[in-house]
Chains A and B, each alone.
Chain A
Amino acid sequence: GNSVTQMEGPVTLSEEAFLTINCTYTATGYPSLFWYVQYPGEGLQLLLKATKADDKGSNKGFEATYRKETTSFHLEKGSVQVSDSAVYFCALLDTGRRALTFGSGTRLQVQP
């Protein structure tokens, strides 16, 4: 079946540092890929997505590129801020039932 693997957290960075959160997936075909962000006590917000190979999703300075060769969708940001502190989830869309399969989440802590 489908699965998503994310790097374990927490990831602790200083403000303005470079961020990478690794995400790899196992799936049949080429599913759409997503990054969601969750702030404490809240639901999930869509951060970015990519629907086909070599697509780059971007939003609020975050980027991720759909790499079918390495089945990866790593999240990057050039300069993180304290306000980026949250839990980040990588997910893929099951094309059969059109529901999401999530990774376990990576907590990011940005220190001033």
Chain B
Amino acid sequence: DGGITQSPKYLFRKEGQNVTLSCEQNLNHDAMYWYRQDPGQGLRLIYYSQIVNDFQKGDIAEGYSVSREKKESFPLTVTSAQKNPTAFYLCASASAGANTDTQYFGPGTRLTVL
């Protein structure tokens, strides 16, 4: 089955620790995205990548870092510099070309800082 996987589903972190959230897709999509969702709010863009080895900051990139070494993978690191990291994190991907409009989402990772 083609799709987007995120792991882990739940993640607990102590203050001061860095953690990495995994996002993998087998849809052969060029573009990948990370969004953050807080309770009762919409999604906000953290980072995005339109092509391998290239990525750009979104609206709330401070305290986060990413890499895009492979087309299939776009891991997100939540660093200790992120002041309030407890949230639901969603990864998405989209194809380039004629049908670039639609983004497909993974199941999400819920991060809790203890």
Contact = CB atoms under 8 A, between A and B. Distances in A.
Main secondary structure of the interface of B (DSSP, over half): strand
Contacts of B75: none
A81 interface: no
Interface residues of B, number: 27
Interface of B: 4, 6, 31, 33, 35, 40-45, 48, 50, 56, 58, 90, 92, 94, 100-108
Contacts of A46: 102-104
Contacts of A51: 101
Interface residues of A, number: 24
6 contacts: A43-B6, A100-B103, A102-B42, A102-B44, A105-B40, A105-B41
A97 B101 contact: no
A86 to B, nearest CB: 14
